[in-house]
Amino acid sequence: MKTKHTPREWMAEQEPFYNYKGKDVRISIRTNGSTLRPSIAFGMSAEEAKANAKLIAAAPELLEALNILYVQLTNKLRTEPTLFDNHENLKRGYKAAKNAIKKATE
């Protein structure tokens, strides 16, 4: 899958020197030994900011994993068009995956 985001390791790092009242966490991207800091995650508490940062940092890997599953299910549907029969949760998950991928990439 071709992506437009920075294709490197993303991580959440709390740096107290830069924190706004302890309620923000920087999102860093490591590339070839250097670190880029493209974003800051905020929250109503330090715990919420850290959780938001972790989710943002995991987003590229989550998108890649979701896309792999979506493509595999799409291919399976071509050979088994009744795959979703009696599997409403699988059908909802498939549609949710399609919408999430679209939201992240378009």
pLDDT for the residue 73: 95
State residue 99 phi and psi, 5-degree precision. Answer: -65, -40
Q: What is the pTM of this model?
A: 0.74
CA distance 106 to 95: 16
pLDDT (tens, 9 = 90+) of the chain, 106 residues, equals: 666 776 667 776 665 545 555 566 666 766 666 766 666 777 777 778 778 878 888 888 899 999 999 999 999 999 999 999 999 999 999 999 999 999 998 8
CA distance 3 to 66: 13
Q: Where are the domains of the chain?
A: 9-105
